[in-house]
Structure 1
Amino acid sequence: MTTPQQPIGSGFTRDSTAREVLDGIDLTGRLAVVTGGYSGLGLETTRALVGAGAEVLVPARRVGAAQEALAGLDGVAIGELDLGDQDSITRYADDVLASGRHVDLLLNSAGIMACPETRVGPGWEAQLGTNHLGHYALTQRLWPALRGGARVVSVSSAGHRRSGIRWEDPHFERGYDKWAAYGQAKTANALFALHLDRLGAEHDVRAFSLHPGGIMTPLQRHVPREEQVALGWVDEEGRPANAGFKTPEQGAATQVWAATSPQLDGMGGVYLEDVEVARVVPSDADGPGVREHAADPDQAARLWAWSAEQTGLDAFAA
């Protein structure tokens, strides 16, 4: 069942858009859940899925903002969810389960990046607690609605190159580094999909992780202007300065492809980028590809067990 972590020849490119990868795909009757589906890449993902006929549930921490962003878009239902609050996750998942609907697509797209040191839940570092543990818990809670045929998509990032899992201090209790914390959370997103696919395949649930590409979205809100200039993202006036940035429509393409493409039927557990399966490269390598530390099945199993301890949730526990 293990899918090789190597390109399959998708025929798409880094410039392909979400609507292009959905060309000819009919999602009528399908139900999708898209976290963060009202902002940035999540918003473009919601628009593309609805355009192909899907019904989309959009859990939102800022319900008013979601209503404004999604106004006039049919086939969307907004609910309240704070991924940093385990009780909120339980309430949202219970509402979905109470509907009796099967969830065909779960896109764990929401996230925070390089925020000031913040604690959520029982004192978890916020990026790990929201980006990983929040989505881990949501997936566990929704498992009864996913089992029997679904794809789960975990939006990671090239930021995973910055850090593996810091087993000695995962919640940065001994000094905080916002970029290392982001890197660890994005590695966790990739490892989560790897192990979920291993466990879920026999239930016809397949999982993927991905790097959407560099895109200017509200994700950058915690990075000061001067730091964005130093990183080469924007010029002194705040205008995009990196010719390699994608548009939001291009950035959403890989996660939409992961969730819907028949090219990926029977596959799972792999990391994608530029609408293609990526290659594994050494953790100290430059350039594209998933780093070895984010594609390690032993690390993935260890993270799963640790996440189960942290949240008290494991849908696959005996």
Structure 2
Amino acid sequence: MPFNQVPIGTGFNASTTAEEAIGQTSLAGKTAIVTGGYSGLGLETVRVLAQAGARVIVPARSPERARAALEGLPNVEQEMLELSQPESVDAFALRFLASGRALDILVNSAGIMATPFARDARGYESQFSTNHLGHFQLSARLWPALRRAGGARVVSLSSGGHQIAGIDFDDVHFERRAYDKWVAYGQSKTANALFAVALDALGAPEGIRAFSVHPGSVLGPLARHLTPEEIATFGVHDANGQVIVAPERDLKNVQQGAATTVWCATSAQLDGLGGVYCENCDVARINAAGSGERGGVRPWAVDPDLADRLWRLSESLTGTQLNGSP
């Protein structure tokens, strides 16, 4: 297990907001990319980074929706990207690299959850493809720009949902086992955490540090594939149908939900650290299965050997390696 996967005592907590997490940090002269940055947690992340002075690029699969959501925000550019389409990922990366800019912050925030069974054009299961493989390819293609920054951070949104399932390396795309939308989601979120472990190991010598994040339970666009009955089982509404905000129970609003992402992307408290899974603006504790405790990270999501195995599988599935040209 990673020796640094232990809380560091930051002084923050589950109620901390993204604005509180960034504090007085100035990002003037910095460039960030935030996938999914036009709704929910991604949009709040963009707002706070831009407010701190960063130039933020928001690649989106729906340019019209993105333009409407981002209207009025300073220091923000909107781009086209469909994570499940490799050619779209390559095209976006080429356009960014051609600008000659360094990339200081990459936030892999876009994702889907508990979707009906679907495959991408390559035949890959859609949640694994969108949540993990698309961001794997994007990060690898943007590697030259991350290196150019001389101290970049890559933050990937995992979830407490990683506790549902690890990676089934024998049937990652549900070709032989029955499809379960929650198992598929859990597998993809474990992949997000393992990706940070492997990327950090490769990137640290280049000054590139990687983190994964559990943002908390925030009712938002990610739940669009759930029925009202399914949402009700999570206990997120009170008797009057209002959304409950109770961060001590991991039920957060958007401002609180974006806090750990912003903290991982900007905080000096993480200088010298990387490859860790974070929650509530701190490094999470390892929580073994069967402990009965809430929160924390399962051992299978921070295991370096599993991270290396997933990295090699991802290279094979995407045909992408670090420093490879699009």
Query: What are the ranges of 5 or more consecutive residues in structure 2 without an aligned counterpart?
Result: none
- Tell me the TM-score normalized by structure 1: 0.96
Residue 300 of structure 1: aligned partner: 307
Q: Deviations over 1:273-308 (max 9, x none)?
A: 000001112133331110001010000000000000
Which residues of structure 1 form unaligned runs of 5+? none
Q: Distance in 1 between matches of 2:273 and 2:245?
A: 34
1:155 — aligned with what? 157
Shift of 1:216: 1.0
SS of 1:37's partner is: coil
Q: How does 1:278-297 map to 2 (within 5 A)?
A: 278-286=284-292, 287-297=294-304
Matches within 5 A, 1:246-265: 246-265=252-271
Q: Which residue of 1 aligns with 2:20?
A: 20
1:53 paired residue number = 53
Tell me the SS of whatever aligns to 2:131: helix
Instruction: Give the count of matched residue pairs.
Output: 316
Match of 1:271 among 266, 274, 277: 277
Contact 2:143 2:323 in 1 (8 A): no
Which SS does the other structure have where 1:207 is aligned? strand
Aligned residue number for residue 184 of structure 1: 187
93 and 45 in structure 1: CA distance in 2 versus 1, 3 angstrom threshold: same
Aligned identity (percent) is 54
Pick from 212, 218, 221 the counterpart of residue 221 of structure 2. 218
Are residues 1:229 and 2:232 paired?
Answer: yes
Aligned residue identity for 1:84: S
The alignment yields a C-alpha RMSD, in angstroms, of 1.4
Question: CA 1:237–1:128 in 2, change beyond 3 Å: closer, same or farther?
Answer: farther
Deviates more, 1:280-289 or 1:250-259: 280-289
CA–CA separation in structure 1 for the residues paired with 2:260 and 2:233: 28
1:22 to 1:227, Cα distance in 2 relative to 1, 3 A: same
1:149 CA drift (Å) = 2.2
The structure-2 alpha-carbon separation of the partners of 1:133 and 1:198, relative to structure 1 and needing over 3 Å to count, comes to: same
**Is residue 34 of structure 1 aligned with residue 37 of structure 2?**
no
| 8 A contact 1:3–1:270 mirrored in 2 | no
| Equivalent residues in 2 for 1:78-227, closer than 5 Å | 78-147=78-147, 148-174=150-176, 175-227=178-230
Question: Is the 2:32–2:104 Cα contact (8 Å) retained in structure 1?
Answer: yes
Aligned AA for 2:260?
Answer: T
CA 1:92–1:141: 2 relative to 1, 3 Å? same
- Aligned partner of 1:314 in structure 2 is 321
Q: Match for residue 4 of structure 2?
A: 4
Find the aligned partners of 1:223 and 1:125 in 2 and give their Cα distance: 18
1:128–1:185 contact (8 Å) kept in structure 2 = yes
Quick one: distance in 2 between partners of 1:193 and 1:179?
22
CA shift for structure 1 position 231: 3.0
Quick one: which amino acid aligns to residue 180 of structure 2?
Answer: D
Cα contact 1:212–1:253 (8 A) shared by 2: yes
Q: In the TM superposition, what whole-angstrom CA distance separates every residue of 1:26-80 from its partner, at most 9, and x where no partner exists?
A: 0000000000001100000000001101110000001111100010111000000
Q: How many angstroms apart in 2 are the aligned matches of 1:237 and 1:92?
A: 45
Task: Determine helix, strand or coil for the equivalent of 1:65.
Answer: helix
- Per-residue CA distance 1:208-260 (angstroms, 9 max, x = gap): 00100011110000011111112323368753257431110000000000000
Q: Residues 232, 82 of structure 1: CA spacing in aligned structure 2 closer, same or farther, 3 A cutoff?
A: same
Contact 1:190/1:209 (<8 A) preserved: yes
Structure 1 distance, partners of 2:242, 2:84, is: 31
Q: Secondary structure at the match of 2:33?
A: strand
Structure 1 residue 3: deviation in Å? 5.6
- 1:136/1:192 contact within 8 Å kept: yes
Change (3 A) 1:168 1:235: farther
Alignment correspondent of 1:77: 77
Amino acid at match of 1:185: S
Q: Given residue 315 of structure 2, which amino acid in structure 1 is its aligned partner?
A: A
Using the size of structure 2 for normalisation, the TM-score is 0.94
For residues 235 and 266 of structure 1, the distance between their equivalents in structure 2, rounded to whole angstroms, comes to 42
